[in-house]
Chain A
Amino acid sequence: MEYNGGSVIAMVGKGCVAIGSDLRLGNQALTVATNFEKVFPVTDRIYIGMSGLATDVATLREQFRFRVNMYTIKEEREIEPESFAHLVSSTLYERRFGPYFIEPVMAGLWKTQAGEYKPYIAAADLIGCLNFAKDFVVAGTASEKLFGVAEGLWEPDLEPEDLFETISQTLLNGVDRDAYSGWGAVIHVILPDKVITRTLKGRMD
């Protein structure tokens, strides 16, 4: 996890979820790129963030895109966040004794019978042990710091703009205490009808 560095976080809001990552790609202590996004869209309402070994981030992004496309074709419908989390889990567990070195964080909205959208977030370890949370999930080299800041700032039922502010402050202040993460951040706030994506400037040191 310390080889390339990087951190990811996801938070629940009121009828919305947010997910974000820092932008650093390093080679141990040497920073190679400052535009390396670790969060990718899966469907219009599901995003996945991956921290860890950058080669596996790219490989698994391709792998998940393939598997989600196969699911969509076979089922003739888009995948729901909970099914996607289990797809991620089983993809990682397939490599139980020679794992991909990534910790995924998933965020999405699922449609209830009544037709309203409910937030869903989950994280997993590198062999796919899922962790569902009601509030927030973190991963990466700054995860301890992110836990601390998120614990202090997060509150239930945040509106989209407040959620954006909360996750942004948590991520930026968390990664500032970590040498392996930082160099700016990107945040996606997922709403039922749209996704708000904003790139944040951070400390460049």
Chain B
Amino acid sequence: MECSFALTGKGYVLIAADTTAARSIVKMKIDEDKIKSLGPHLLMAYSGEPGDTTQFAEYIERNIRLYQIRNLYPLRPPSAASWIRRALADSLRSRKPYSVNLLLGGYDTSNHTPSLYWIDYLGTQAEVPFACHGYGSYFALSLLDRYHDPEANLEEGLAVLRRCIDEVSKRLVVSPGKYRVKVVDKDGIREIEF
């Protein structure tokens, strides 16, 4: 089943998402990238109903890009999170709501703070130090409660993320095999071999 994790550290946000595209009990693809770059310092991991996820993620990606083209500056993470939340909240009370869960990680270059937002398909938004979506959250959240440190450097952050992924692989019956890990910090977005 789909799992995504994210955590903040000293000057960075780490986001990990599994890479399986499943339909019913069948794995259709094992190298799907479910983390989109919405700007030079903004990452979004998305999961949920297969068609809705790509459609909604692309809609968000293009609109955030349009804002950057029109205004020369990209939306800062809190504003981007609010706008995305609103898109989901409006969709919730429409005829066909999107069922997409998001983790939004960004680095604000104007005040040098990393921020992470947990957003679900209802449009519930929370700013958190760490977050998960999917069945992995039942295992990873308690590990993160114990081991997360907002002042940790990247190596320590990756070690905590490793613990979470290992625990989910060990204990979850329907655990995903591979993850893709991305980090956003003052230098922008990078993918990390994990």
Interface residues, chain A, with chain B CB atoms under 8 Å away: 4, 25, 27, 30-33, 35-36, 53-55, 58-59, 62, 98
Selected A-B contacts with CB under 8 Å, 25 pairs: A4-B124, A25-B124, A27-B120, A30-B137, A30-B138, A32-B128, A33-B118, A33-B126, A35-B126, A35-B127, A35-B128, A36-B126, A53-B124, A54-B122, A54-B125, A55-B85, A55-B88, A55-B89, A55-B92, A55-B124, A55-B125, A58-B85, A58-B89, A58-B125, A59-B86
Q: Are A54 and B124 touching (Cβ within 8 A)?
A: yes
Cβ contacts under 8 Å, A58 to chain B: 85, 89, 123-125
Interchain CA distance A62-B89 in the complex, whole Å: 12
Interchain CA distance A27-B122 in the complex, whole Å: 11
Q: Are A25 and B120 touching (Cβ within 8 A)?
A: no
Cβ contacts under 8 Å, B128 to chain A: 32-33, 35
Interface residues, chain B, with chain A CB atoms under 8 Å away: 85-86, 88-89, 92-93, 118, 120, 122-128, 131, 137-138, 141
Interchain CA distance A25-B120 in the complex, whole Å: 12
Chief secondary structure at chain A's binding surface = mixed
Q: Are A25 and B126 touching (Cβ within 8 A)?
A: yes
Q: How far is the CB of B49 from chain A (nearest CB, A)?
A: 17
Q: Are A32 and B89 touching (Cβ within 8 A)?
A: no
Q: Are B141 and A55 touching (Cβ within 8 A)?
A: no
Cβ contacts under 8 Å, B125 to chain A: 54-55, 58
Interchain CA distance A27-B128 in the complex, whole Å: 14
Interchain CA distance A32-B59 in the complex, whole Å: 26
Cβ contacts under 8 Å, A54 to chain B: 122, 124-126
Interchain CA distance A25-B89 in the complex, whole Å: 17
B118 and chain A: residue at smallest CB distance: A32
Cβ contacts under 8 Å, B120 to chain A: 27
B122 in complex: contacting residue of A31, A35, A53, A62, CB < 8 Å: A53
Cβ contacts under 8 Å, B89 to chain A: 55, 58-59
B85 and chain A: residue at smallest CB distance: A58
Interchain CA distance A31-B137 in the complex, whole Å: 10
A33 and chain B: residue at smallest CB distance: B126
Cβ contacts under 8 Å, B86 to chain A: 59, 62
Q: How far is the CB of B104 from chain A (nearest CB, A)?
A: 14
Max chain B C-beta neighbours (<10 A), residue from A30, A35, A59, A98:
A59
Max chain B C-beta neighbours (<10 A), residue from A33, A53, A62:
A33
Q: How far is the CB of A34 from chain B (nearest CB, A)?
A: 9
Interchain CA distance A169-B137 in the complex, whole Å: 33
9 nearest A-B residue pairs (beta carbon) = A33-B126, A55-B123, A55-B122, A54-B124, A55-B124, A59-B89, A33-B128, A55-B89, A25-B126
